[in-house]
Amino acid sequence: MTAEASAPESRAFEADVAKLLHLMVHSVYSEKDVFLRELISNAADACEKLRYEAIGTPELLGGDAKARITIALDAEAGTLAVEDNGIGMTADEMVEALGTIARSGTKAFLERIEAAKAQDAGESKAGAQLIGQFGVGFYSAFMVADRVEVISRRAGTDAATRWSSDGQGAYTIEAASAQTAPERGTRVTLHLLADAKTYTDRYKIENLVRTQSGHVPVPISVIDKPGAEPEEIVDGAALWTRSKSEIGPEEYADFYKSVSYNLDEPALIVHMRAEGRHEYTALVFVPSARPFDLFDADRKGRVKLYVKRVFITADADILPRYLRFVRGIVDSADLPLNISREMIQESTLLKAVGKGVTGRVLGDLEKLAESDKEAYTKIWDTFGSVLKEGLYEDFERREQLLGLARFKTTAAPGEWRTLKEYTAALRPNQTAVYYIAGDDQARLEASPQLEGFRARGVEVLLLAEPIDSFWVTAAPDVEGKPFKSVTQGGADLALVPLLDEAHQPAAAASEPVTRFITFVKETLGDVVADVRASDRLTDSMVCLTAPEHGPDRQLEKLLAGAGQLKSEVKPILEINPGHELVAALAALGEDEADFRRDAARILLDEARILDGVPPADTRGFSDRLGRLIRRGLS
């Protein structure tokens, strides 16, 4: 449909949107007041977009340059209308904005709703958070209305369009008459449900506006009955322009919810004003819950850029990508108002602003980690995997980020440890910061590669996220100790004293065991890079390790899965020379050659299974296992 269409046209919502509307009304959210905040936020965004476009095209403002939002109440008709004089929408834009939601976002939203419904007391709260996260705030109007009507006229055009729906699966769209349409902008009229008629009460609406949207940088007025004059209840003074001492926690929280479109509480508030060479104000927040788009492939930030309180863009690269969970605004007094989006990305001034804000955010996280360990731990639980991307990408701040990092280790199961705590517990003659990387925390804790380290009390970092395999390759030394994978090269543990002499690796392989290890190597051939006696195993018979140079075992798996390995990296099979079964196999005579060959291959398969990968030849493994069982029963 184009803006010139005149006959009403009925259209069906996408199937997912229809389901979403049903959930919104019946299952998702019990605190209905949020609908007004969502509509006001949309109206404020429309005014900000017009202010930006008017920089280059001032005629769009006409004779009405002051942005405003008006809430009109009609108790007799049972309606509430929110009108703005912002950018407005064409017919095509209304279909796109009101008739559809991005399919991927809708699907993810519905999946999260179904998960929330499966919970008991947390259902309402979870639904509230999801409404904000997935940008479906407009549809919250159907929680209080049985019909919603939207009339909009885009700035600079004459045509107006009317959109209407009862939220039951379809909507109509048609040209609107000039008499019923605003001169510019959008009017959303809610025909309220019988149990929602209290939203026509002036005092209730005024209280909601002041508490939820008092920070909006657009004046808000209310008309309490038809024919009455509008009365301003919010002056549009931007919250970030006020002094921190004048702002209460509730106002900060309300602003965060408006700018982030989330309904969780901020875990950290950073409000700063820079003067001198560069003058700017930043008001940004670390959320307490993960935004739904945290792991989008483009990894874009969501900090809004203003210039002298004029909204410029919502996706400027102000903060590094590993801080993309931060929400808020930056208002610069130095950037030109007519700066283009292309110039923004290349602006040295904006890069300096971003550097200053990034430093402040990381600095405040450091202060929080020192002053309130529990609060910081919650932030690390939520965003640690993203912050660790900075260890790989941000060389300049790597040392600072290492100080912020927290790790699960073999020394304190279930607890987070700092590298400072790790280095304070170094064992005598320990030459490295040891780690093991994988994709499953429980498997890492049970890995046979850790046995020799546990026997000597050497703490090992347990790294269970994909990013861990990359940042450790680029991390600097920690107090002169390099990062070293326990699955790569030799263990180098000979000089570290044992905690208990009863559990220790064999000092050296006996002659029969040495011959058996040679036999295993000959049997396996070029399937492995080497077979050798292990100095890291105390209880297990075997494990796989990677060569000294190149990727460790986990990085190799990731690179192979992504098709980025030019050639296969063959593992090293390590055999525990002190294990009783190894000694028994070594003692078998030449007449047991077939069984010894089966045993050699089963040892490799066992090592693969312990490493979290299946045997390369599952049929051969099954046959060999069957022969082993028959031999045991004979």
User: Which residues fall in the annotated binding site?
Assistant: 38, 42, 84, 89, 104-105, 133-138, 186, 341
> CB–CB of 299/324 below 8 Å?
yes
Determine which helix (DSSP H) or strand (DSSP E) holds 329, and give its type and residue range: strand 327-332
CA angle 63, 67, 70 (to 5 degrees): 110
Task: State the helix-helix crossing angle for 34-56 and 123-133, rounded to 10 degrees.
Answer: 10
> CB–CB of 262/132 below 8 Å?
yes
Q: What dihedral do alpha carbons 430, 433, 438, 443 form, nearest 10°?
A: 40
**In terms of Cα–Cα distance, which of 190, 7, 191, 179 is closest to 91?**
7
Instruction: Take residue 25 and report the two structure tokens written for it.
Output: 């009304």
Question: Residue 303 gets which letter from DSSP?
Answer: E
CA separation for the pair 508, 518 (Å, rounded): 15
The CB-based long-range contact list for 100-107 (8 Å cut-off, 24+ gap) reads 100/13, 100/14, 100/17, 101/14, 101/16, 101/17, 101/20, 101/134, 101/135, 101/136, 103/14, 103/16, 105/134, 105/135, 105/292, 106/14, 106/16, 106/17, 106/20, 106/134, 107/16
Please give the sequence-ordered ranges of beta strands (E in DSSP) within 446-527, or none if there are none: 460-463, 483-485
Report in angstroms the alpha-carbon separations of 320 from 141, 251, 299, 354, 473: 36, 27, 10, 8, 20
**In terms of Cα–Cα distance, which of 395, 417, 397, 415 is closest to 406?**
417
Q: How many helices (H) and strands (E) does the chain have?
A: 21, 21
Report in angstroms the alpha-carbon separations of 569 from 177, 210, 363, 523: 71, 63, 42, 19
Question: Residue 28 gets which letter from DSSP?
Answer: I
Could you list the residues known to form a binding site for ATP, using ranges.
Answer: 38, 42, 84, 89, 104-105, 133-138, 186, 341
Report in angstroms the alpha-carbon separations of 553 from 11, 410, 558: 55, 19, 9
> CB–CB of 512/586 below 8 Å?
yes
Question: Residue 24 gets which letter from DSSP?
Answer: I
Pairing of the two strands 145-153 and 9-12: unpaired
Instruction: Take residue 8 and report the two structure tokens written for it.
Output: 């009403």
Q: How far from the centroid of its chain's Cα atoms is residue 340's Cα? A: 29
